[in-house]
């Protein structure tokens, strides 16, 4: 059986992004042990969560759908929660 992968975008501060890229360690600021990501790199729904973006790729089964927004063009932006401890350098795309 093949794995379905999700490309997700995690917004954070430039300082935190540099640490994540260097170590592969993501820290949950929500005290849930999860980080939050979007299927859209830049949108009104992600503004305010940090100016730096980390592109990650994760198995779909690892992500929990947290929210969904219909966009003006009829497509959807989805926000997923991903367990921080399950992520590492191997998941970072850029």
Mean pLDDT by 10 residues, the chain (94 residues): 90 96 90 92 82 96 95 91 96 91
Sheet with 5-12, strands from edge to edge, namely 52-59, 5-12, 34-38, 76-83, 64-70
Say if residues 58 and 3 touch (Cβ distance below 8 Å). Answer: no
Whether pTM exceeds 0.85: yes
- Measured between alpha carbons, how far is 16 from 5 in angstroms, rounded to an integer? 24
Number of helices and strands (H, E) in the chain? Answer: 1, 5
């Amino acid at each position: 059986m093949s794995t379905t992968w999700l490309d997700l975008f995690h917004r954070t501060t430039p300082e935190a992004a540099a640490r994540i890229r260097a170590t592969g360690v993501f820290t949950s600021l929500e005290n849930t042990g999860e980080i939050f990501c979007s299927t859209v790199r830049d949108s009104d729904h992600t503004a305010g969560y940090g100016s730096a973006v980390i592109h990650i790729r994760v198995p779909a089964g690892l992500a929990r759908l947290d929210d969904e927004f219909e966009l003006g063009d009829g497509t959807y932006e989805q926000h997923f929660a991903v367990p921080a401890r399950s992520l590492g350098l191997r998941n970072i795309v850029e």
